[in-house]
Structure 1
Amino acid sequence: MTTSIARDELIAAIPSLRAFAISLCGRTDQADDLVQDTLVKAWGNFGSYTPGTNLRAWLFTILRNSFYSQLRKRRREVEDVDGVHAGALSVEASQSEHIRMREFRSALGLLPEDQREALILVGAAGYSYEETAEICGCAVGTIKSRVNRARRKLASLLDEEVEDVATVERAPLQLESLAAAAFR
């Protein structure tokens, strides 16, 4: 793969990487840093990429691994413990759609990490179950279970009625369109 083609493919992946990073971090500033670190690592280690394999999955794996490495590091650090600085920076939503989005993000944040990650990759980033399994390093069936549980839990948290399996199959379209919009 030539340098210009590789560069173009890396650039094309940035919006999806950013959306996934925001879903992991919850903060756009940290997500942007994570994406930048991911791209630097990918570019520096491009020789270890196997041409013909899924470049986006490779990038998402780098991003995911970087996030968990940084998370372990941050757990040892203390950052704005009383939240005074963060509270001064927040702005209240003035429109109902912003409120709904905030509720969605809050509900998404209540999901277990593995379920949230699988739902964002499948629902918002558009990865197949197989690609998501490759990124997360687990079986396809595990990803399907995580996505299903995440959809049901989100529907429950957002007070959306889920009466039968058919309803659950339609609900993800609404939830996942919210997920995609939340991280644009």
Structure 2
Amino acid sequence: MQPADELRDAPDRAGCHHTFVPGDLAERLREYYPEVAAVDPNSPLGAVLGRLSAVLDTADTCRQLPNAFKDDLIGLVPRLRRYALSLTFDGNEADDLVQFTLLKAWEHRGRFEPGTSLVAWLFTILRNGFINGRRKRSREVPDPDGAHAAHLSEPPRQDHSLRLRDLQAAIGRLEPAHREALMLVAVDGLPYEAAASVIGCPSGTVKSRVSRARERLTQELGA
């Protein structure tokens, strides 16, 4: 196994480049940003999902949507919530962002090009909604204790709680742009090119941000 400082970017089978993250660090990142808990059907997001699912069923029956659009859209909700959570640091705001994203996706469904990345398209909608909301609020929501994770994710096992708190603190000290790039590439597995499309910057910038975030976390956590 290569040591952490010797890991290199390598192409996957599709020719896209991903960043290797040291094994223990990658595992800890996925513990911090797990697949979020199931949506409560009685919550505002649950109500939106129910209505949207019914509308999508009708559209699918009438062949108004590309094949599998409905299943793919609903199936990506956990990843949308996880990405929203990494941006907002607040569970309620994250769910609001996911609602916004789903409704915008339905409103602009004709703009989605079959054969392209649905997750990248949805992430872009979500990110734009987040940025517009932040411009109105003019400041970020603090989360010094990592409490936002408790709003959406399943509680960690007791034997992991200490190292997760260390990771929470280290992630909180990352520059927001570096944290977002790391989230998209290392946790959600987007190729650099797709992450760059979501963020709206060159893929080289994404590589640089991921590398800096990885190095900072590795230094702080000794991973």
| Structure 1 and Structure 2 fold alike (TM over 0.5) | yes
2:120 — aligned with what?
Answer: 57
1:150 — aligned with what?
Answer: 213
Greater relative CO, 1 or 2 (CA 8 Å, sep 6+): 2
For 1:139-173, what per-residue CA distance to the aligned partner results, in whole angstroms no more than 9, with x for missing partners? 11111111000001111222x0xxxxxxxxxx5xx
1:1-184 alignment runs, 5 A limit: 2-3=64-65, 5-75=68-138, 95-158=158-221, 160=222
Task: Return the TM-score normalized by structure 2.
Answer: 0.60
More helix by share: 1
Q: How far apart are 1:76 and its partner, in Å?
A: 7.3
For 1:40-84, what per-residue CA distance to the aligned partner results, in whole angstroms no more than 9, with x for missing partners? 11111111222222111100000111111111222379x9xxxxx
Aligned sequence identity (%) = 48
* Number of residue pairs matched by the alignment: 150
Aligned-partner Cα distance in 2 for 1:136–1:157 = 26
**Structure 1 gap ranges (5+):** 80-85, 161-170, 172-184
Please identify runs of 4+ aligned residues in structure 1 that moved more than 4 A.
none
Aligned-partner Cα distance in 1 for 2:93–2:166 = 21
Aligned-partner Cα distance in 2 for 1:68–1:121 = 16
Q: How far apart are 1:2 and its partner, in Å?
A: 4.4
**Structure 2 gap ranges (5+):** 1-62, 142-146
